[in-house]
C-alpha cells in the first residue's frame, strides 16, 4: 500500500528542505525524499564546507602576514594539520545537516532516504537499501539540483582528478594543483589552496576571469591579488588531456594553437554545473525538460504538469542556493492558494575570493543594454574607511550605478572585506526602488564597513566626505 501525502519534495537541498518546512507550516502532510545528505550539495560538499576552509586559511594568512605589524608575536611557524582542518570542516557541515534534520522532525515532515523515480504524475517509487516503496501525493516539488560538469579525458575519481567535492577533502596539502576553469568555484578553491602553500595554475578558456559573472572592475581587484599571491593564470587556454607520470600528472593545454604542459599532483575541474534533468524519470510524469536539462517552469515555478513544481538549480539560472530557498517558500505558498509569482528584481551573487566580491542589480553594460543610457556611477574605496584600515583589509571599493535622471539605484558591486555581508542592504534598496539619496541620507553607524555604502551613495551624488572628488558635470 502506497504512503500518501499532500506534498512530496524530491531533494533536500537548500530549495527542497525549505519547501518541505514551509509546506508543513501551512498544514500540509509533507514528505521529503533525499538519497544522500540533508542540506544537499550546498551544505555538505559546497557552500558551507568551502566557506569553512576559506575562513581557516584567511585566519592563517592574517597570522602569517599581519600579526607581526599588530604586535602579536608568534614564536616559530604555524603548522597546518590538514587532517584536523578537514575534520573540523566536516563537523561544520554535520552540525548544519543535523540541524536541518531537527527542523524537519520538529515540523512533522516525513524524511525518506532513497532514490526517487516518477511512475506517473501522481506517484513515485523510492528505492533504498531497505527495498522499494510506492508514494503518492497531490503535489510534487522537484528539487533535484545539479552536478559538476565532467570534461572529456578528465573523469572524476575525487582523489587526484577532482570536482569541488574532492578538493574540499584533501587530507594532505597538495604541492601543485591545476585548476581547469576560472569561475567562482575554481577561484574560491584556488585562493584557499594558495594560502596553504600550494602552487596553483588556473587554466581559463576566456580572455579574462569571471567574465559576465561580476563587474569587470571588481574582478580586476581579485586578479591583481591572485597574481600577487603567486597564482599562475593561463588565459585563452583549453585543457586537452592529462597523463599520469612518475611524479604526478601532466596536463596538456592549448593556447593560441600551441600546446603547453602543466605539471601537477592534483587536477581540479570547475567548468560549471549541469542540471539533473536526466534523473528521477521525469518523462514518466510528462514533465517537459529543455535541451540543456532544465525543467521548464512558469512564474509560479509550475511545470507543464499542473500538480508538479520545480525549484532551484533544476529549473534554471542563476544556480544559487538562496534563489532555491526563495522559490521553495514561494511554491509552498502557491500550493496553499497564495497569489504569488517569482518577481525578484535581483538575486545577489557572492564570490568568496580574497577579497570577496558581491553584487546586486545590473552592471554598467547590463544597464545600458536595458535602455538606461544616461547613468551616474560612483565609487568609494575601502582604503578611506576607518574600520577597513583597522582590520588591515583596505583593498577594493563599493561601486554604485544609478539612472542619472531619476537617481533610482540600478546596481551595487562590492569588492573588499565582508562584501558578502554588505550586499544585503543593496538588495533591499533595489527591491524597494530606492534612490541614491535614500542610502546617502540614512545614518550609518561608525566605525563600520557599512559606512562605505552611505559614502558611495554620496560619491555617486558628487559629495563624498572622505575622498576628494571632482565636481560632477551638471
Please give the pLDDT value at position 372. Answer: 96
Return d(Cα 125, Cα 141) in angstroms, integer. Answer: 15
Sheet holding 349-351, edge to edge: 349-351, 356-361, 409-416, 397-403, 375-381
Across the chain, mean pLDDT equals 97
Q: What is the CATH number of the domain that holds 249?
A: 3.50.50.60
Is a pLDDT exceeding 80 seen at residue 452? Answer: yes
pLDDT of residue 374: 96
pLDDT band at 51 (very low <50, low <70, confident <90, very high): very high
Task: Give percent of the chain above pLDDT 90.
Answer: 97
Instruction: Check residue 130 and give its pLDDT.
Output: 87
Specify if 124 maps to a domain: yes
Residue given cell 572529456 in the structure block: 152
Note whether 133 and 280 are same-domain residues.
yes
Together in a domain, 34 and 138: yes
What mean pLDDT comes out for the span 185-210? Answer: 97
Average pLDDT score over residue span 338-352: 98
User: What's residue 474's pLDDT?
Assistant: 56
Q: Are residues 17 and 138 in the same domain?
A: yes
Q: Within this chain, do residues 382 and 455 fall inside the same structural domain, yes or no?
A: yes
Residues 126 and 13 in one domain: yes
Among candidates 262, 232, 231, 266, which has minimal Cα distance to 248? 266
Residue 470 predicted with pLDDT over 90: no
Q: How confident is the model at residue 102 (pLDDT cuts 50, 70, 90)?
A: very high
Domain boundary, last residue among 271, 297, 324: 271
Q: Work out the average pLDDT over 226-248.
A: 97
DSSP state of 175: S
At 124 the pLDDT is 98
pLDDT at 473 over 70: no
Average pLDDT over residues 243-261: 96
Residues 256 and 278 in one domain: no
Which of residues 289, 304, 335 is at a domain's end? 335
What's 320-338 look like in SS3?
CHHHHHHHHHHHHHHHCCC
Q: How many folded domains does the chain comprise?
A: 3
Q: Same domain for 197 and 232? A: yes
10, 115: one domain = yes
Binning pLDDT at 50, 70 and 90, where does residue 314 land?
very high
Q: Residue 471: which pLDDT band, with cuts at 50, 70 and 90?
A: confident
471 within a domain of the structure (yes/no): no
Last residue of a domain, one of 251, 271, 291: 271
State whether 395 and 446 are in the same domain: yes
Structural domain harbouring 191? 161-271
Q: Is 446 a catalytic residue?
A: yes
pLDDT digits (tens, 9 = 90+) for 168-181: 999 999 999 999 99
pLDDT at 27 over 90: yes
Cα–Cα distances in angstroms (integers) from residue 347 to residues 186, 209, 320, 327, 442, in the given order = 21, 21, 9, 12, 23
Catalytic residue among 58, 65, 407, 446: 446
**Residue 401 in this model has a pLDDT that exceeds 60:** yes
- Residue 2: the pLDDT is 86
Q: What is the pLDDT of residue 211?
A: 85
Amino acid at each position: 500500500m502506497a504512503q500518501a501525502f499532500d506534498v512530496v519534495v524530491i531533494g533536500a537541498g537548500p530549495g527542497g528542505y525549505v519547501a518541505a518546512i514551509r509546506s508543513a507550516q501551512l498544514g500540509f502532510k509533507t514528505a521529503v525524499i533525499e538519497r544522500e545528505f540533508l542540506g544537499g550539495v550546498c551544505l555538505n560538499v559546497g557552500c558551507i564546507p568551502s566557506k569553512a576552509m576559506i575562513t581557516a586559511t584567511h585566519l592563517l594568512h592574517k597570522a602569517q602576514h599581519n600579526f607581526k605589524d599588530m604586535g602579536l608575536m608568534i614564536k616559530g611557524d604555524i603548522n597546518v594539520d590538514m587532517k584536523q582542518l578537514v575534520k573540523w570542516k566536516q563537523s561544520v557541515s554535520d552540525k548544519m545537516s543535523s540541524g536541518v534534520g531537527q527542523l524537519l522532525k520538529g515540523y512533522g515532515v516525513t524524511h525518506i532516504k532513497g532514490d526517487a523515480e516518477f511512475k506517473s504524475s501522481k506517484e513515485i517509487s523510492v528505492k533504498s537499501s531497505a527495498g522499494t516503496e510506492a508514494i503518492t501525493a497531490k503535489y510534487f516539488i522537484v528539487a533535484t539540483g545539479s552536478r559538476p560538469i565532467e570534461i572529456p579525458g578528465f573523469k572524476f575519481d575525487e582523489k587526484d582528478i577532482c570536482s569541488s567535492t574532492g578538493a574540499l577533502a584533501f587530507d594532505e596539502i597538495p604541492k601543485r594543483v591545476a585548476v581547469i576553469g576560472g569561475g567562482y568555484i575554481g577561484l574560491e578553491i584556488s585562493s584557499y589552496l594558495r594560502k596553504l602553500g600550494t602552487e596553483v595554475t588556473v587554466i581559463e578558456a576566456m580572455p579574462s576571469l569571471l567574465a559576465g559573472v561580476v563587474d569587470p572592475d571588481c574582478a580586476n581587484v581579485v586578479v591583481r591579488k591572485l597574481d600577487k599571491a603567486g597564482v599562475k593564470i593561463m588565459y585563452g587556454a583549453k585543457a586537452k588531456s592529462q597523463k599520469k607520470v612518475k611524479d604526478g600528472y601532466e596536463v596538456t593545454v592549448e593556447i593560441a594553437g600551441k600546446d603547453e604542459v602543466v605539471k601537477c599532483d592534483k587536477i581540479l575541474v570547475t567548468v560549471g554545473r549541469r542540471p539533473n534533468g536526466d534523473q528521477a524519470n521525469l518523462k514518466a510524469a510528462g514533465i517537459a525538460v529543455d535541451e540543456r536539462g532544465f525543467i521548464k517552469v512558469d512564474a509560479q515555478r509550475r511545470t507543464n504538469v499542473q500538480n508538479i513544481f520545480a525549484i532551484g538549480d533544476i529549473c534554471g539560472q542563476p544556480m544559487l542556493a538562496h534563489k532555491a530557498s526563495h522559490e521553495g517558500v514561494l511554491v509552498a505558498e502557491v500550493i496553499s492558494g497564495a497569489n504569488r509569482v517569482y518577481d525578484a528584481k535581483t538575486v545577489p551573487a557572492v564570490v568568496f575570493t580574497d577579497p570577496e566580491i558581491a553584487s546586486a542589480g545590473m552592471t554598467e553594460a547590463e544597464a545600458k543594454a536595458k535602455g538606461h543610457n544616461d547613468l551616474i556611477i560612483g565609487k568609494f574605496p575601502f582604503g578611506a574607511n576607518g574600520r577597513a584600515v583597522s582590520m588591515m583589509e583596505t583593498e577594493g571599493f563599493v561601486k554604485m550605478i544609478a539612472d542619472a535622471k531619476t537617481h533610482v539605484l540600478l546596481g551595487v558591486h562590492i569588492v573588499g572585506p565582508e562584501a558578502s555581508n554588505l550586499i544585503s542592504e543593496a538588495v533591499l534598496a533595489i527591491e524597494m526602488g530606492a534612490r541614491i539619496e535614500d542610502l546617502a541620507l540614512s545614518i550609518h553607524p561608525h566605525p563600520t564597513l557599512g559606512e562605505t555604502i552611505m559614502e558611495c551613495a554620496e560619491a555617486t551624488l558628487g559629495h563624498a566626505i572622505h575622498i576628494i572628488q571632482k565636481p560632477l558635470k551638471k
